[in-house]
């Protein structure tokens, strides 16, 4: 995880314990974050991270999460994932 100004860059392959730590870190700082980027080359390992990112997006509608906005991802654990986002 890397915090640079108003952009937070995370690895999508974090284990469950890191996802819990990430949530504890990001929730109190959400008003200061404008974008959450995914590190290049990382693949989604747990659906809990996808659910957390969607929850953050619903909490702060103007939050940019390019990974979510693409609508698809490839994962070793889950294969190709597709999702639809609604405001």
Q: Give the pLDDT confidence of 13-69 residue by residue, as tens digits.
A: 999 999 999 999 999 999 999 999 999 888 888 889 989 999 999 999 999 999 888
Residue 35 in domain: yes
Residue 87 in domain: no
- What range defines the domain where residue 30 resides? 2-82
Residue 74 in domain: yes
Number of domains in the chain: 1
Cα distance between residue 84 and residue 87, in whole Å:
10
- Pairing relationship of beta strands 7-10 and 2-4 according to DSSP bridges: antiparallel
Burial level of 54, CB count in 10 A (0-12/13-18/19+)?
middle
């Amino acid at each position: 995880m890397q915090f640079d100004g108003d952009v937070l860059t995370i690895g999508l392959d974090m284990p469950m314990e890191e996802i819990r730590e990430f949530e504890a870190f990001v929730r109190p700082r959400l008003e200061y974050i404008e974008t959450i980027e995914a590190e290049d080359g990382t693949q989604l390992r747990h659906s809990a991270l996808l659910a957390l990112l969607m929850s953050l997006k619903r909490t702060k509608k103007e939050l940019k999460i390019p990974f979510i906005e693409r609508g698809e991802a490839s994962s070793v654990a889950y294969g190709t994932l597709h999702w639809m986002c609604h405001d």
